[in-house]
Amino acid sequence: MINQERIVNAFLEYVQIDSPTRKEGNFAKFITKELEALGFKVHIDDAGEKVGSDTGNVIARLEGNKEVESILFSCHMDTVDPSEGIKPIIKDGVIYSDGTTILGGDDKAGIAAVIEALKVVKEKNIDHGPIEVVFSIIEEGGLHGAKNLDYTKIQAKKAFILDSGGEPGQIIVKGPAQDKIHAKIIGKPAHAGVAPEEGISAIEVASKAISMMKLLRIDEETTANIGSIEGGKATNIVCPEVIIQAEARSLNNEKLDQQTAHMLDCFEKAAKEYGAKAEVEAKRMYSAFEIHENDEIVNIVKKACGKLGMMSSLQSSGGGSDTNIFNANGLKAINLGIGEKKPHTLEEHLKIEDLVNSAKLVLEIIQTI
């Protein structure tokens, strides 16, 4: 029932509507009209005013004719740079950009799949329960749309997020928590050639701290990274100040607490050793989530995949998504694979087959409830 030509044309149209992070407004207006044409009541919340976008999250609801629970489908509208002036091309059943921008399948492939499934529901008069949709803003910029979503507008207790790079049938049931770490090392300037012993090199202190840290792959659940180091003005000045940006992630909240504490402690110990000062802070960006393999929401997707003859697989993710935030706000949410490949790069691409199968899966989930 999925119309391949229609969904491909819709996806091509979607990615050519610019929607970089914090500038999703034009696309939000376009997709709002599509949802309203399908009979949805649409609300734009005030998240954009809170976090600096030209629109809020698009929240929509369609009442059903079956007395079953409400379900929610969600994708994000924003795209990473460079994403303005996307020119999609098709070659051998695969959609690419022209190589000067990303493609925008992350996450407009998910949006195209949801909209196509809803069009089939309407034109085929398929019985369904209440369906809710959230198309969020600023996912790429820190999940801020989901963090500031007006959850009072949501009645569903189960959410299907379409935003994973695996093939349709992949079900992300575990996602990590993340801490962002900011450290400022304050040393003491001095002339590097005349009296270096009178100075305290913030670079040397930072180097000592980092050398003591466990970094990159910590264990099967935990990672950590130093992302950037900034400081220093000239080679003849002992560096007085360095700013370090870092992160830690784990599928286990307790392990993340331990790793973050370890990194902060390394900064403070090194500063004390050299007589410098360390100003350090950590911020929890989002919490980990885990959905049991036999949970009802997982079984719904497994059943839908089975009806389609599609293989299903349960996976964990090393990255955060709106799924983390939905789970933290009382919804049970899983992230579904939609086939996006090499996202955030100029080589991003998407198989038409995966786009079509994503829409088939959304449609089958609606009918399975």
> Which residue among the candidates 116, 139, 167, 241 is catalytic per the annotation?
139
CB 133 within 8 A of CB 60: yes
* Catalytic site includes residue 46: no
Q: Find residue 124's DSSP bridge partners.
A: none
CB 179 within 8 A of CB 369: no
Element (H, E) at 248: strand 241-250
Long-range contact set of residues 120-125: C-beta below 8 Å, sequence gap at least 24? 120/1, 120/2, 120/3, 120/359, 120/363, 121/363, 121/366, 122/38, 122/39, 124/1
CB 361 within 8 A of CB 67: no
* Catalytic site includes residue 139: yes
CB 141 within 8 A of CB 78: yes
Instruction: Give the DSSP per-residue string, 28-67.
Output: HHHHHHHHHHTT-EEEE-SHHHHHT-SS--EEEEE--SS-
Token pair recorded at residue 52: 């600096």
Tokens 């100040």: give the residue: 241
> Which residue among the candidates 24, 45, 78, 322 is catalytic per the annotation?
78
Active site residues: 78, 139
